[in-house]
Amino acid sequence: MAGILEKDQVGKREMLADYITITDAKSKPILAMIPKGKKLVNTYVRWQVDDYETPSITAQVDGQDATDFEDAARNRVELAVYCHYLRNSAKVSKLAEDVANVAGVSEGEMARSIRKKLEEMGRNVEAVLGADNESQADTGAVGYETRGLGTWITASTTTWSPVNSATYHPPSASIDATAMSSVTEAVIKAVLASVYAERGQTQTLDLICGPTLKRTISGLTQTSGGTDNKATTAVKTYTTPAADKTIISNVETYVGDFSTVNIHPSLLLDADGSDGNYRGYLLDFPMLELCWNQMPTVTKLPDLGGGPRAIIEAIFALVVKNPLGLGKFAATS
């Protein structure tokens, strides 16, 4: 007689580890760094921008009376944007909440659902800020949308409520679409030089960029190749001593002629397109504001018999005080 064999046992308990693991932990750098503006009290937000005249070196004739007077407000225009209204929801059945004992859900299925949906709402907001979405009004068929950075930082007028004057669009030199395989340090410098030409001062900027652009920038300072008409072997160099037995292949700050740029990778850019890995926004965060009417908020709804329910909502608008001093990397490959 063989006795009881494991393969024949009846009533074996299931071993289920008491945790639930999510590996997706995307950061939200724009949401973390953008200044908070005044409370949003209307679905339509407006503000003004102005610009200085081109310097004049024409001398004044002595003794000549002033007859012509300039309009010091003639460059002043109004910018505007609608708010953005987002909603997530959560619901579990009565038995799922009160009876079932689920591994890794010690706080209860509803509490975990709300916690998860709050995190997803933060990602949704970050995705809106980094997208190419255009602002729109609620029509009954589509909801209110604010304008994403991809559309704010453009060299041409947009379809809805365009910036009233081309004066306040970043120049084309501040927006580069060079494919990643052809990006050189000269390309980066050209964008920084254009941004400096608009702002007129050196400053510290932040580059929020997709992983391919981040990797490309890190590689620029480590590889050298041949010059025109001279075929040479590319050489990769490192600044760390070999004795350290550590390879550092990461650029977090780029110090150029006109700006110091802190670099932050993100996986939540161009969420409404397919170019997020190559996208990059060169930002002066004091020029941005996120105006909240309602930060991500949980509202519990009445249980109508089917189990507990809740919604998570956020209402906000992205204000770009003046787009002129911003830049963008907009490659598609």
Gap between the Cα atoms of 157 and 161, Å rounded: 9
Q: Which of 4-8, 31-35, 111-115 has the lowest mean pLDDT?
A: 4-8
pLDDT tens digits along 144-202: 999 999 999 998 766 655 555 567 889 999 999 999 999 999 999 999 999 999 988 88
Global confidence as pTM = 0.87
pLDDT band at 103 (very low <50, low <70, confident <90, very high): confident
Looking at this protein, which amino acid is placed at residue 220? Answer: L
Gap between the Cα atoms of 133 and 82, Å rounded: 12
- Mean pLDDT for 289-309 is 94
Contacts of 46 (CB under 8 A, 6+ apart): 78, 79, 80
Task: Using a pLDDT cut of 90, give the percent of the chain over it.
Answer: 62
Q: Which domains does the chain have, with CATH numbers?
A: 27-49+76-226+234-330 (3.90.1690)
Q: Which residue has the tokens 């490959």?
A: 333
Helix/strand/coil for 16: coil
Q: Is the pLDDT of residue 234 over 60?
A: no
